Each structure stands twice: as C-alpha cells, then as structure tokens.
Chains A and B, each alone.
Chain A
Amino acid sequence: MDTKELIARRAAVELHDGDVVNLGIGLPTLIPNYLPAGINIILQSENGYIGLGPVQDTIIPDLVNAGGKPANILPGGSFFDSATSFALIRGGHVDVTILGGLEVDAHGNLANWMVPGKMVPGMGGAMDLVTGARKVIVAMEHTSKNGAPKIVSDCSLPLTARGAVAMIITELAVFRFTPQGLVLEELAPGIELETVTNKTGAAFTVSADLSPMRNIPSDEVLL
C-alpha cells in the first residue's frame, strides 16, 4: 500500500454517515474511495454547491469542482452563491474538513498556504475552511521531501489559522490535539515509536491506549 493510500484509508475512518465534508485538493480527494458500504457522506464544494460527485462520461456545462475541474452533482445536491457557500463553511455547517499541510505545530496552528520567497498562490477558501469547519483534520506526509519534520513546535511559515487543527494523520502515525497538548494515539504497521519521535519536531505525549493505526478493511471498501 503506498503512502497516500495508507493516509487516505485512515482518514476515511473519521467520516460518518451523513457528514457534510469539504476535502482539500490532492490526497484528501482520494478518501471517499475508501469509505465502506453504507457510509455516505455529503461533499461540499466551496465554489458553490453541496453534493459533489465524481465526473461522468459526459462533461456537464458550468459544473466544476473547487479545483476548476469538471465534476458532477448527486441527487439531493444544490447550488448556491459564494456568500452562502462560505456561510455554510464559516457558520459551522460543515462537519469535517480534511486538508493537506506544510506545517502543523504543537499549538494546533496550521500553515499550508504560502512559502515566503516563492510564488504565492493565495489562500483561496482554506482560511475560512480551517476557521469554520467543526473538525479540521490534516492529512499529510510526516516529513517534507528533504526529510524535515512537518509537525513542529512552532510553525515558521505564515499561518492559515491558529489553534484550529483537531487531528493529524500521516503515513507513520495519528495524533490528536487535546487540552493537554499533542497526543500520539496510533502507529502505522511496522512503525516503532522511536521512528515517530525522531521524525517529529514537536513534543508530544503517548496515549496510554496507543494502538495500531485503524483502517477500513479492503473487503468493506465500496470501490
């Protein structure tokens, strides 16, 4: 199983039947592939609708996802303007958002929208999502391409939001933010605690219930 699939399969465990969910571009869009039969989530697309579905054989005019790519709308969905879309997001009507990160720190701060000195794409809807969704999950690789920890004591990059992250899922481990701080709760198959400690730049406590990384078994997955 590759790294992205491992992370996506674990993230799928966090979604419950009927949840309204907004998924960031990239890895998070893989997550619905790993939902078990009977778990149906409702995807919100910040460009203005609820009921985002996979693209069909025929391209539907004027229907794109938040990445501007052709998409579909499922029965029960609806379209609305951008103010309504972000009222849904900011007003706490989106249950979960799962998105990638450049850095997450020990205070639950997230940086994922710009790197000083590089081309700045803009925050798009990310700041509103991270501020407004009821639960913010960061699903990302544990370290950067050059091996540097992405979970750090204090973010060095410009923040997307302060104290907003509830949970971090990587290919090595699962962490949860609690009032006592960052807690390691699960280890991926074959991963030792020492490996996680060495590759994490923030202090954390180890849960008394430290367990193997949860997963949805392949035979339960819908696709």
Chain B
Amino acid sequence: MGKVTTLEEIGGLFHDGMTIMVGGFMGTGAPDALVGILVERDIKDITLISSDTALMDTGVGPLVLGRRLKKVIASHIGTNPETGRQMLAGELAVELVPQGTLAERVRAGGAGLGGILTPTGTGTMVADNKQTLTIEGREYLVELPLRADVALLKAHKADKAGNLVYRNSARNFNPLMALAADLVIVQVDEIVETGELDPNIVVTPGVLIDKIICYKESE
C-alpha cells in the first residue's frame, strides 16, 4: 500500500475534537501545508500539542488565529499574542509545560512508558496538583505521557517507505511525535525511491509513517 498521497486525499481524515500533535519550533520544522488543510477543512475544537504557538502566520499560528483550538498544550505562547488573548478571554484552555518536560512527555507517549520523573518545575507552579517522588534525596515530578490521534510532521526528505531525514534545526519535536500518534502524516520537501536514503542517516524509521505528502514551498 503506497504511503505517498496528496493534500486532497488526506482532507477527509480529520474531524472536529481531535487531539493533534504538530512538529516545529516557532514555525521552523512545522508542516505548513498540513496545518493549512485543517484550516481549509474547517476542523474545530482541536486539542493541539506543540512546542509553541509560533507567530500568527507561521506554523500552527493560523489554527489559533482561525479559532480552531479548544486546548493548547505547549511550552511557549508569547510570540503569538492571539493565543494569550484567547486564553485571558476564557476562549482557549492553555496548559503550559516546560519545553524539556513536553519533549519527554511526548517521548513517553510514543515509547510505551507510563510517564517520566523530572526535577524541572519542582517547587514552582508547574508542580501544582502533581504527584512527586523523592529518589536518592532529590524530588521529582511525575509527568504523564502525551499521545494524539494524529501527528503532523515536517521532514526534509522521505523515501517511499517513509524513512525520514531532517534538515538543520527543523528536526526538534518531529522525531518524537512520529512515535506518539495513531496516524502519522509527514510533509516533505522531496520524496526519493525506497533504498535511496542511506539507512545510517535515517532519523525516523519508515514504519512509523502512514502518509507522505511532498509540498514545495513557493519561493
């Protein structure tokens, strides 16, 4: 079964109320075309898991601006003022998570772990209502795994088997999210034949990827 598909063909896979992970850091390494499909198809009440909410017009920014989100789980919302505005107006629930904790929660979700223990956030607001454990004299927060219905990823190249390589700092959360969702869709700059990517440089194994879409940014 071929994994390579088109934006038109994946449009029907989304529905209101989904939990969706989106890769990227301030829009770099975010699958803009896949985010665009959510906007175009008018998907609403999304729970979004993402590093940040980018700028108003980059990465996941348009989902905020278009009021498609019910809840955001992210480490930073400051560069997209619309997120803060909707939060303060009571229109959008925001769960702020330290970025390293967010990465580990996603990793745990994809790795079959029941959670992780981290010292980050102990003694701060982040610890409110969380279980703590003391191990060898140091206090840790119990942080729970995160999974999603869909992960929308961006990679530089895929082969037709779904093996992915990333470019520069666009890797960020993408390889972690590839493990943590029921349906994994990747947007790439280029698709090559299976076997053309050196297995030594593949970062994300193709077995994790369900759908591949090649999308050339207009430059």
Binding site for B on A (CB under 8 A): 45-49, 60-64, 67-68, 71, 73, 79-83, 85-86, 89-90, 119-128, 131-132, 158-162
The answer to the question of B156 belonging to the interface, with a C-beta cut-off of 8 Å to chain A, is: yes
Which residues of chain A are near B203, meaning CB under 8 Å?
A: 81
In the complex, A128→B126 CA distance in Å? Answer: 12
Which residues of chain B are near A89, meaning CB under 8 Å?
A: 100
Which residues of chain A are near B96, meaning CB under 8 Å?
A: 120, 122-123
Cβ–Cβ contact A47 & B25, under 8 A = yes
Number of A-B residue pairs, CB cutoff 8 Å, is 146
Range, interface on chain B: 35 or more
Binding site for A on B (CB under 8 A): 25-29, 51-52, 55, 74-79, 81, 84, 87-88, 96, 98-104, 106-107, 118-126, 156, 166-176, 203
Q: Report if A128-B98 is in contact (Cβ < 8 Å); known contacts: A121-B78, A162-B123.
A: yes
Cβ–Cβ contact A119 & B172, under 8 A = no
Q: Find the residue from A61, A127, A159, A161 having the highest chain B CB count within 10 A.
A: A127
Cβ–Cβ contact B175 & A81, under 8 A = yes
Cβ–Cβ contact B77 & A121, under 8 A = yes
* B173: contacting residue among A49, A81, A125, A126, CB under 8 A: A81
Cβ–Cβ contact B171 & A68, under 8 A = no
Cβ–Cβ contact B170 & A62, under 8 A = yes
Q: Which 6 A-B pairs have the closest CB atoms?
A: A121-B78, A86-B100, A68-B26, A128-B100, A162-B123, A62-B170
Which residues of chain A are near B99, meaning CB under 8 Å?
A: 46, 82, 86, 123-125, 128
Q: Report if A81-B100 is in contact (Cβ < 8 Å); known contacts: A47-B25, A123-B76, A159-B124.
A: no
Cβ–Cβ contact A68 & B120, under 8 A = no
Cβ–Cβ contact B78 & A122, under 8 A = yes
Cβ–Cβ contact B81 & A119, under 8 A = yes
Nearest neighbor of A87 in chain B, beta-carbon distance: B100
Which residues of chain B are near A119, meaning CB under 8 Å?
A: 78, 81, 84, 88
In the complex, A48→B103 CA distance in Å? Answer: 11
Nearest neighbor of A124 in chain B, beta-carbon distance: B76
Cβ–Cβ contact B77 & A125, under 8 A = no
Cβ–Cβ contact B120 & A127, under 8 A = yes
